[in-house]
Amino acid sequence: MSEVSLPDFNLLISTRRGMEKQCSSELWSLLRYLDIPEESIVPSDFPGLILAKVGTDPIKFVEQLRRYTEENPWDIRLILKVVPIQKVVATEVGAIAEAASELAEKLIAPDETYRITVRRRGSHIESRAIIDAVASKIKRKVNLTSPDKVVQIEVLGWFTGISVIKPEHVVSTEKIKAEHLPK
């Protein structure tokens, strides 16, 4: 029996349902402007979600996206939220826990705190089961309200994207734009 290969992506982009093609074009244009090569931009099996592989560190890209959106808040219309992805695994609790703990060991310093955030789409695995399995493998202090790092787990049916990032690395362009509205 041959194994099905996991999708290769390092960004999960949210847009409005039905606007995936237009959002992909907006992302392509933005990548060209920022001089970042894209390897692929494809819609996911879930409405309003796009998987992209860019030819740079996904953390570097979201930092550039944040700066660009702060400087040009009305240029980004369809990219609503971007989550950097550092590892993709099959949606199995053990595989998720193993991958998350490997990333956490490298990316969460012993004196830093963390929180686990799970977003589930198309899976019957309970978020609590994932959180319990991952937390049991990470020997760092938990802080649910203002952690230094977030173990971001994005379940997308049969595969899962995982990252260990700073909270500000999940970029919501809508929140950035809201900050620019007159008070």
In which element (H, E) is residue 99 found?
helix 93-107
Model confidence at 183: pLDDT above 80: no
Q: Determine the CATH number of domain 88-167.
A: 3.30.2130.30
Q: For the chain, where do the domains classified as CATH 3.30.2130.30 start and end? A: 88-167
> Can you name the CATH fold of 11-86+168-179?
Alpha-Beta Plaits (3.30.70)
Entry pTM: 0.94
Model confidence at 60: pLDDT above 60: yes
Comparison of pLDDT for 99 and 183, the residue scoring more: 99
Model confidence at 49: pLDDT above 80: yes
**How high is the pLDDT of residue 38?**
86
Q: What's the whole-number average pLDDT of the chain? A: 95
Three-state DSSP class for 12?
strand
**How high is the pLDDT of residue 1?**
44
Q: For the chain, where do the domains classified as CATH 3.30.70.940 start and end? A: 11-86+168-179
Which whole-number Å values give the CA distances from 142 to 108, 136, 148, in the listed order? 11, 11, 10
